[in-house]
Chain A
Amino acid sequence: NAGVTQTPKFQVLKTGQSMTLQCAQDMNHEYMSWYRQDPGMGLRLIHYSVGAGITDQGEVPNGYNVSRSTTEDFPLRLLSAAPSQTSVYFCASKTPGSEAFFGQGTRLTVV
């Protein structure tokens, strides 16, 4: 039972580069979300999805894109990386009436 799997675990990007953070879950959860964690700011919601083909913006969506072509996968794309996007990124999934299950996180550094 893998739960929520994120790849990569660590990534260093140069300013202006693009990349995709992968997130997959095997629990058939309809709801998936991406958070970023920064010191003293807790977890802030970037984007979320309530099902395949449906996505919406969270609290801090600028500079990020998402898509949800399948129930299992919810990739997060950084279009043109900036140092302000240096953070730890967590993917989560849940069903109605349950808690959220989190992936192991991706530590991203933009130089």
Chain B
Amino acid sequence: AQSVSQHNHHVILSEAASLELGCNYSYGGTVNLFWYVQYPGQHLQLLLKYFSGDPLVKGIKGFEAEFIKSKFSFNLRKPSVQWSDTAEYFCAVTPQGFQKLVFGTGTRLLVSP
């Protein structure tokens, strides 16, 4: 069965610090990859997605992620975080051709002003 690992469960940063959240998945075939964000009390919203092509994907609000196939990784980055980035971030994967979305356990990010 596919699985997704997010190694950082809680991250605390100051505003303007750089962010990198790790995501690794276990599946040998072609995958579609996603990062979702959940602001406090809200539902999940898509930050960015990778289906094919350029492995460096740019999303909303200045986020980007890099797909490294050899490492089965899809790490999320942002050069300078803001207080409004305080949220929980979820990495998710779907094997290509399938529909089921498998989520990691999430990373809670707290950005202090």
Residues of chain A having any CB pair with chain B under 8 Å = 31, 33, 35, 40-45, 48, 50, 58, 90, 92, 94, 96-97, 99-100, 102-105
Contacts and interface: CB of A to CB of B under 8 A. Distances in A.
- Count class of interface residues, chain B: 20 to 34
A35 B105 CA distance: 13
B31 to A, nearest CB: 12
Interface of B: 6, 9, 32, 34, 36, 42-46, 49, 51, 90, 92, 97, 99-106
Contacts of B90: 42-43
SS of A interface (majority): strand
A33 B100 contact: yes
Given A48-B99, A58-B100, A90 B51 contact: no
A33 B46 CA distance: 16
A90 B43 contact: yes
